[in-house]
Structure formats: C-alpha cells, structure tokens
Amino acid sequence: MTEPTAGVPTCYRHPDRESYIRCQRCGQPICPDCMREAAVGFQCPSCVSEGAKATRAGRTTYGGIRSGKPGSVSVTLIGINVAVWAAILPTGGAGSRLVDLLALRPNGLCQLGPGHFDVARSACLANGGTWLPGVADGAYWQLITSAFAHVQPLHIGFNMLALWFLGPQLEHVLGRARFVALYLVSALAGSVSVFWLSGQYQLTLGASGAVFGLMGALLVIGTKMKADISGLWGWLALNVLITFMPGTNISWQGHVGGLLGGALVAAILVLAPRGPRRGTVQWAGVAGFTALLLAATALRVVQLS
C-alpha cells in the first residue's frame, strides 16, 4: 500500500487515498469511490444522506411537516370512530350507557323508569333515577367525544367514507399537526353550534360536524390555489339539501357550525404570511378561535344554569 505524501489531503473516509476533490456541502476531501454527483460538483455520502433526510422532512405548501405516509392520521381517526361504534353496539346500541356519556346533550336530564324528568341531579339519584349528564352540568368532554360516537351503521359508514376521501388530501397540503387541529376544532365548532341552537335536552352524536369542516377547509384551500372545486361544491350542495330535508332527523346545527369552523381554520392556515413566523401566526390564530369557542360554551353554560 502506498503511503500518502505529507501535506497532501486525503479522503476523510479512506485516509490512505490522496484526494484533490472536496465535497460541495461540507468541504471535506473525498476520493473517487466517495464522490456522489450533485447538481453542482460532487458531494460526500454523509451529505447526500443528510440531504435525503431533509428532503423527506420537507415542508408542505402551508408550513406543516410533510408526512412520509399521507393519510395515516385519517386512518387513525377512522379507527377510533369504528372502535367507539364497536363498543356501543354490544352494550345496548342507542340505549347504551356509552351513548349517554359520550353523545352531546346540552343539559343534564333524569331518567326514571320509562320517563325523563327535568330535576336536580341530587333529586334524581335520591329517587333511584339515572342521571344523563349534559354539558351545562359539567360533561364538557361531550363537545369532543360526541364527534366520535355513532349508533347507526349508515351514519358511521357515510361519515367515514367522507373522511377517507377528504382527509388524505388535507393531510398532504397541511401536514399532520395542522390537519389534526383542523379536524378537532371543526368538531368543536359543530358541537358549540349544537349547544347553542339545539333543544337543551336533545341528544346529538356523529362525526358530521368535523367532516363538514373538512369540506369547508377544502373549499377555502381550493379557492386559494385556484383549483377546480366545482365537484366539491356539488357534493356540498347535495349534503346541505339532505341535511335540511324534512324527516331526516339530521343535526343541521352541527353541520353548519362544522362547515363554518373548518373554513375559518383553513383561512387562518392558508392566509398566514410566509416567513419564519408563519407557524406562530397560524397556531396563534387557531388557538384564538378555539378560545372564542370555549368562551361561547361558558356563556351558554351560564345561561342554561
């Protein structure tokens, strides 16, 4: 083996080989075996590997981290909905205690025998009744859990099919974290609308508010990107028509609230100015809207109490 001449640069990976070529990124000398052709000159294997990682972890159009598996969050959400539905069915379906706990009821109600009574919780329990909790008496979790609860197979089927089609597109454009925020805040907006506009003892459940939020978000993003969204407008119009058809027993309050909430969240995300502070502006805007929804909830609780 020939010893390298003193003072002559050698390959950083093969010290026994003289090298007069340097990596264009890190500047280290590299031998012919370590040269990797780049857009300009050559790079070393380490820099090529780092560049590949950076590319895979690139940013989406609106600042989110690009997912290596687009659609994975949507599949997870579908799995949660199906798991809750599978737990409700064998425990009584529409009469399941899980429905009483997870579905959204604006105000608590006492079930005593075949009847329901508007009495205090203490009086209900003292007389052997079953208390059906509501948001106004402390069941705040229902604002979110109701969006994951279903009873009828067609109900969960249509909602999950819509999530399957809409979710991955939004994940790809927004990134995982922003998509999760969009979904949950849309669900919350739909629930707050139900809390204000429905009867105080009416039971509401289903992911429709969140799904309508995804529709609203796609309309905003498609408009911003100047895409052809005529098909989405048609799909939305059909769903709105079904929502307001007599006898369908569909919560129009949740649909409208979710649609407007999703559109507003999307507007916050896509209209935030580009630059290093875009993420801060986006998350501050989403947090501000969420705070308004929680304030509206608190005001309604006071009113019902």
Closest by CA position to 216, among listed 196, 191, 194, 233: 233
List residues with catalytic annotation.
208, 255
Segments forming the whole domain that contains residue 12: 1-56
What band does 40 get if pLDDT is binned at 50, 70 and 90?
A: low
Residue 12 lies in a domain: yes
Over the stretch 81-129, which tens digit does the pLDDT of each residue have?
999 999 999 999 988 999 999 999 999 888 887 777 778 888 888 888 8
Whether 7 shows a pLDDT value over 70: the answer reads: no
Answer whether residue 288 is part of any domain: yes
Examine the domain organization and report whether 152 and 82 are in the same domain: yes
Assign 229 to helix, strand or coil: coil
Query: Has residue 10 been placed in a domain?
Result: yes
Please name which of 115, 103, 113 lies closest in space to residue 191, comparing C-alpha atoms: 103
Looking at the structure, do residues 46 and 78 belong to the same domain, yes or no?
no
In a domain, 283, yes or no: yes
Across the range 66-87, mean pLDDT stands at 91
- Whole-angstrom distance between the N-terminal and C-terminal Cα of the chain? 89
Kindly state the DSSP code that residue 193 receives in the 8-state scheme.
H
Residue 268 lies in a domain: yes
- Same domain? For 128 and 192 the reply is yes
The Cα–Cα gap between 147 and 248 comes to 19
**Which residues are paired to 42 by β-bridges?**
37
State yes or no: pLDDT of 47 exceeds 90: no
Q: Domain check: are 151 and 102 in the same one?
A: yes
Average pLDDT value for residue range 184-201: 95
With respect to residue 63, please indicate whether it lies within any of the assigned structural domains.
no
In this structure, are 225 and 126 located in the same domain? yes
| Residues 235, 97 share a domain | yes
Residues 266 and 155 in one domain: yes
What is the overall mean pLDDT for the chain? 88
Same domain, 5 and 111: no
Same domain, 151 and 194: yes
So what's the pLDDT on residue 31?
86
Quick one: which of 238, 172, 182, 178 has its CA closest to 210?
Answer: 182
Number of domains in the chain: 2
Mean pLDDT is lowest, of 61-75, 153-167, 180-194, for 61-75
pLDDT digits (tens, 9 = 90+) for 222-269: 998 888 888 888 888 988 888 888 867 788 899 999 999 999 999 999
Note the helical H segments in 6-44: none
In a domain, 61, yes or no: no
Tell me the CATH number at 185.
1.20.1540.10
Answer yes or no: is 82 within a domain: yes
Structure confidence at residue 1 (pLDDT): 47
Banded pLDDT at 56 (limits 50, 70, 90) = very low
> What local confidence, expressed as pLDDT, does residue 181 receive?
97
- Whether residue 136 contacts residue 25, with contact meaning beta carbons closer than 8 Å, is answered with no
Verify that 29 and 150 share a domain, yes or no.
no
Percent of the chain surpassing pLDDT 70 = 94
**Contact (CB, 8 A) for 122 and 128:** no
